[in-house]
Amino acid sequence: MTNSLILSTLTKTYDGTPALRDVSLSVAPGERVALLGHNGAGKSTLMKIILGLIPFDGGEVQVLGAPPGSEKARADVAYLPENVAFHPALTGLEQIRHYLRLRGHSARLAEGLLARVGLADAGRRRIGTYSKGMRQRVGLAQALIGMPRLLVLDEPTSGLDPVSRRDFYTLLDDMAAEGASVLLSSHALTEVEARTDRLVILSQGRLVTQGSLSDLRRQAALPIRLHVIPREGHGSALAEALPKGRMNGTGLHLSCAQEDKLSTLSRIVGLGEIVRDVDVLPPSLEDIYSHFSRRDGQ
Amino acid sequence: MMRILTTATTEFRIALRNRWVTIAVVMMVIFSLVLSAAGSAPTGALGADRLSVTVASLTSLSVYLVPLVALLMSFDGVAGEVERGTLPLVLTYPISRAELLVGKLLAHLGVLTLAVAAGYGSAALAAIATDTAAVQGLPALWRLMWSSVLLGAAFLCLGYALSALVPRSTGAAGLCIGLWLVMIVLYDLALLAAVVTDGGGWFTTEAFPWLLVVNPADAFRLFNLAASDATAAAAGIAGAANSIPPTHALVSMSLWPLLALGGAVMVFRKVTP
């Protein structure tokens, strides 16, 4: 099957300042890709180019086999902007009915869509009275219209509570299971870690790395931290046995390279009686993320 | 077509909720009734029926009011969407920018038609109630009504064009008020000054009629006064109304909405959300 989205050596400059530099990326049908990066790393710019909202300067972009923003691309692409906004005078139902008709669907589907995002009861109230989380859910409801083949979601879970976030990712899983490609950006690293297939890290307009979390972990080769807790009264003996470690109130902190993990562990086990417990702390997603996004010039 | 219709329905609903429909209708009805009451005095002296006299006064009123109401509704058309942040999302839908503007135009034109019909209609009822001969003026009233809608369409589209030029509603509002002042008030004053200075020379006889026709508001006035029996009741450019065939004015009035819409679409296409 051909890729839903293909970007090759995409370049975009705003008034002489490069916003995107040689970004190449493709997303397959059914794949969920998370776009990570600092504010200003180029995530929103990349999304707007994919949607055809802003022009680009160099490279190639193909959205569902068509140019971005073309009628063919727009027919099958759904978008959820960052801080999505609607006219405050309309009710949730009226707004969704309008979007349904724009996509050529029956307006009667609106109630079902709002129910899917948990807004069945608020549909008849004006959007002006909604909370940020509720507006975000109206935004999600419109992105679900008509089984889009590519979903472009700019910080889709901002403003959602933890339960709604989980529901949102369940909806996304369903869409992906039916073959929709998902490209989403997020700051909430821990949630995209578990719910997406691939992470793409942008830094200063460059794509610095991409892959699954374990790929990135291997690439980054960040040290593993070990926390060794001594038996009572054996603290100083432990510190002597592991001179590279650093003692604190509860135990000894030690870090080692990925490939030395097993040998270090067996050394600790070999200390026998004086060790009560060992915690192994692999580098967190935050560590890996800052490793990649700071590598460039910062 | 469906996309234009749903945009028009939604925009009309917004206009209804924002009280634009109420404001426009009430404004037109009040001004029309006041004019029809004030205009009843000279009837006997002119020998025209009461409605025809009212139509002449309404023409002078509409030249000011219809463009104003149109601009007040349209200045927010694009800039408001940019400011609220609603534009990027709708532009990713399968609707072209031209369709979006035409949808808005239809909705606002609907509001304007309602206001004009309610205003002129109440003036006509008042006239017919006191003078049965007033029914003779109905064709003139009908002409005034559709030409007002045409005039409104021109200014709605001009409003969208200005609205797409600036990213903020407040800026667009300022531009629209400026446009109204220049095209409706200052244009006529400038022509008047030029005619007075010229003293019946080439400008007055050759250029002046054409300069009147190219301004949609003056074309509207010329068209309605030329076709009316009660031109004498209206002060101002009645003399000029006779030197230009009404068809010229009609052509100008029909071209303006089309050109303004084309211009608005062109400007809107350049907007990057």
Identify the bridge partners of residue A200 per DSSP, sorted by sequence position: A35, A210
Q: What share of chain B is helix, strand, coil (3-state, %, to 5)?
A: 85, 0, 15
C-alpha to C-alpha distance for B188 and B197, rounded to whole angstroms: 14
Using CB atoms, pick whichever of B6, B14, B86 lies closest to residue A101.
B6
Can you give the pLDDT at residue B14?
A: 93
Q: Chain B residues with CB-CB distance to A under 8 A? A: 2-3, 5-7, 9-10, 13-14, 17-18, 84-86, 88-95, 272-273
DSSP per-residue string spanning B54-102:
HHHHHHHHHHHHHHHHHHHHHTTTTHHHHHHT-HHHHHTSS--HHHHHH
Say what the pTM is.
Answer: 0.86
Print the SS3 string covering chain A. CCCCEEEEEEEEEECCEEEEEEEEEEECCCCEEEEECCCCCCHHHHHHHHCCCCCCCEEEEEECCECCCCHHHHHHEEEECCCCCCCCCCEHHHHHHHHHHHCCCCHHHHHHHHHHCCCCCCCCCEHHHCCHHHHHHHHHHHHCCCCCCEEEEECCCCCCCHHHHHHHHHHHHHHHHCCCEEEEECCCHHHHHHHCCEEEEEECCEEEEEECHHHHHHHHCCCEEEEEEECCCCHHHHHHHCCCCEECCCCEEEEECHHHHHHHHHHHHHCHHHEEEEEEECCCHHHHHHHHHHHCCC
Using CB atoms, pick whichever of B2, B14, B88 lies closest to residue A104.
B2
Residues of chain A with pLDDT under 70: 1, 295-298
Q: Which residues from A are below 8 Å from B13, CB to CB?
A: 89-90, 94
Can you give the pLDDT at residue B198?
A: 81
Mean pLDDT for each consecutive 10-residue tract of chain B (273 residues)?
Answer: 92 90 91 78 58 83 92 92 91 93 96 94 86 80 92 95 92 94 92 84 80 89 74 51 75 93 94 84
Can you give the pLDDT at residue B93?
A: 93
C-alpha to C-alpha distance for B115 and A89, rounded to whole angstroms: 21
Cross-chain residue pair A101–B2, CB shorter than 8 Å: yes
Can you give the pLDDT at residue A97?
A: 95
ipTM above 0.90, yes or no: no
Q: Which residues from A are below 8 Å from B93, CB to CB?
A: 74, 99, 102-103
Can you give the pLDDT at residue A298?
A: 44
Q: Are A138 and A146 in contact (CB under 8 A)?
A: no
C-alpha to C-alpha distance for B116 and B151, rounded to whole angstroms: 11
- Measure in Å the smallest separation between the Cα of A57 and chain B Cα atoms: 15
Cross-chain residue pair B2–A52, CB shorter than 8 Å: no
Q: What is the mean pLDDT of chain B?
A: 86
Can you give the pLDDT at residue A1?
A: 55
Dihedral, CA atoms, B35, B38, B43, B44, nearest 10 degrees? 170
Cross-chain residue pair B14–A86, CB shorter than 8 Å: no
Can you give the pLDDT at residue B233?
A: 47
